């Protein structure tokens, strides 16, 4: 059985995976999206980690 990392790597080499990666990279550069993410992570507490 393939590990989750192997499945993700395979997906990233598909056209849909490349498109998803490009979209994620655009969002990572967008200051508004970054601020929104920081806000959401702050609401979860403990730095966003679950135990």
pLDDT digits (tens, 9 = 90+) for 21-48: 999 999 889 999 989 988 988 877 655 5
Task: Give, rounded to a whole angstrom, the gap between the first and last alpha carbons of the chain.
Answer: 27
Q: Which domain range does residue 32 map to?
A: 4-40
Is 14 within a domain? Answer: yes
Give the up-direction half-sphere exposure of residue 3: CA atoms within 13 A in the CB hemisphere: 3
Q: Is residue 22 part of a domain?
A: yes
* Residue 48 forms part of a structural domain: no
Q: Is residue 51 part of a domain?
A: no
The answer to whether residue 47 sits within a structural domain is no
45 in any annotated domain: no
**Those residues with Cβ within 8 angstroms of residue 21's Cβ, 6 or more apart along the chain or in another chain:** 12
Residue 34 token pair: 């970054």
Write down the pTM of the prediction: 0.57
Question: 26 vs 9, 22, 33, CA distance in Å?
Answer: 20, 6, 9
Domain total for the chain?
1
User: Is there a domain that residue 13 lies in?
Assistant: yes
């Amino acid at each position: 059985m393939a590990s989750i990392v192997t499945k993700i790597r395979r997906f990233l080499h598909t056209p849909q995976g490349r498109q998803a990666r490009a979209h994620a990279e655009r969002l990572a550069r967008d200051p508004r999206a970054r601020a929104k993410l920081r806000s959401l992570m702050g609401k979860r507490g403990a730095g966003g980690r679950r135990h």
